[in-house]
């Protein structure tokens, strides 16, 4: 089965065992609340993936329409994979783990069988969510699809340069920008994240395996100059979005 055939068959989390454990509360609570997440067989659903990329952000609880969907803390660098949500207008709220005060919230308008990503970005005093409607076309099965997110609060606009390529794959990705998906040749490669203004390397990744017919999100996160007392240096988190069952 190809990755991009029959959306209802292939949209699952890559790290399903991890996501199942993390979101056991979401799965079990669905029996009591018919307004949040469904099995996708009887009513229209959308698919939403959440990413915690706020470097000084606390552990979080996630609430959809005021119903909590996680039992375990949603920590910095955590991501969920695609979860099934009912379509229509949904209210997404984030609170400190096991606390009631709302840190920030956002509204989602979800269409049937559509994919969305929600990135929790920023630092204290300017934290916010970025909501993206994930869209891509079927690619050559020898290639992978990748996109890049600039989630570093103090990073400049960035470019991405793949090893062995003359032209940058992505250019001028500003803070909180999320690029579209681009094709890259499947296999092991390396890349550099460059300052878009002067071309200097700000960080790099070596020997990453982009598997053919797969989809990845590259998150540039942390700080170029970490504040005193933090260890969140600038790095790139490579997240496989989902896999072919």
Beta bridge partners of 193: 160, 203
Per-residue tens of pLDDT for the chain, all 245 residues? 233 333 333 333 333 323 333 343 333 233 333 344 545 457 899 999 999 999 999 999 999 999 998 889 999 999 998 999 999 999 999 999 999 899 999 999 999 999 999 999 999 999 999 999 998 877 678 899 999 999 999 999 999 999 999 999 999 999 999 999 999 999 999 999 999 999 999 999 999 999 998 999 999 999 999 988 777 899 999 999 864 32
E-strand ranges in the chain read 45-52, 60-64, 67-68, 83-86, 88-96, 104-110, 115-121, 128-134, 143-150, 158-162, 170-173, 182-185, 187-195, 201-210, 215-221, 235-242
3-state secondary structure (DSSP) of residue 8: helix
* pLDDT at residue number 34: 39
Q: Are 213 and 144 in contact (CB under 8 A)?
A: yes
Is there a shared CATH topology between the 7-134 domain and the 143-242 domain?
Answer: yes
Residue 41's pLDDT is what? 58
**Best CA proximity match to 48, nearest among 29, 66, 26, 33:** 26
Q: Regarding the domain delimited by 143-242, which CATH topology (the fold level of the hierarchy) does it fall under? A: Immunoglobulin-like (2.60.40)
What is the predicted pLDDT for the residue at 238? 97
What predicted TM-score, i.e. pTM, was given to this entire model? 0.82
Of 2.40.10, 2.40.128, 1.20.140, 2.60.40, which CATH number belongs to 7-134? 2.60.40
Alpha carbons 172 and 181: distance in angstroms, whole number: 15
**Residue 208 CB coordination number (10 Å):** 16
What are the residue ranges spanned by the domains of the chain?
A: 7-134, 143-242
């Amino acid at each position: 089965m190809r990755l991009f055939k029959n959306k209802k068959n292939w949209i699952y989390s890559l790290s399903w065992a991890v996501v199942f454990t993390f979101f056991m509360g979401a799965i079990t609570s669905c029996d009591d609340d018919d307004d949040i997440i469904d099995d996708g067989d009887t009513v229209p659903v959308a698919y939403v993936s959440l990413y915690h990329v706020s470097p000084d952000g606390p552990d979080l609880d996630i609430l959809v329409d005021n119903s909590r969907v996680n039992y375990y803390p949603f920590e910095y660098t955590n991501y969920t994979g695609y979860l099934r949500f009912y379509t229509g207008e949904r209210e997404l709220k984030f609170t400190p783990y096991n606390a009631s005060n709302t840190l920030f919230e956002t509204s989602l308008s979800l269409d049937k069988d559509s994919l969305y990503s929600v990135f929790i970005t920023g630092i204290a005093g300017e934290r916010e969510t970025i909501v993206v409607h994930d869209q891509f076309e079927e690619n050559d099965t020898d290639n992978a699809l990748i996109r890049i997110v600039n989630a570093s609060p103090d990073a400049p606009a960035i470019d991405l340069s793949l090893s062995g390529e003359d032209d940058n794959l992505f250019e001028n990705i500003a803070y909180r920008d999320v690029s579209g998906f681009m094709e890259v040749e499947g296999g092991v490669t390396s890349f550099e994240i460059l300052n878009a203004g002067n071309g200097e390397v700000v960080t790099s990744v070596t020997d990453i395996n982009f598997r053919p017919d797969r989809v990845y999100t590259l998150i540039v996160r942390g700080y170029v100059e970490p504040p005193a007392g933090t260890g969140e240096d600038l790095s790139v988190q490579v997240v496989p979005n989902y896999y072919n069952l």
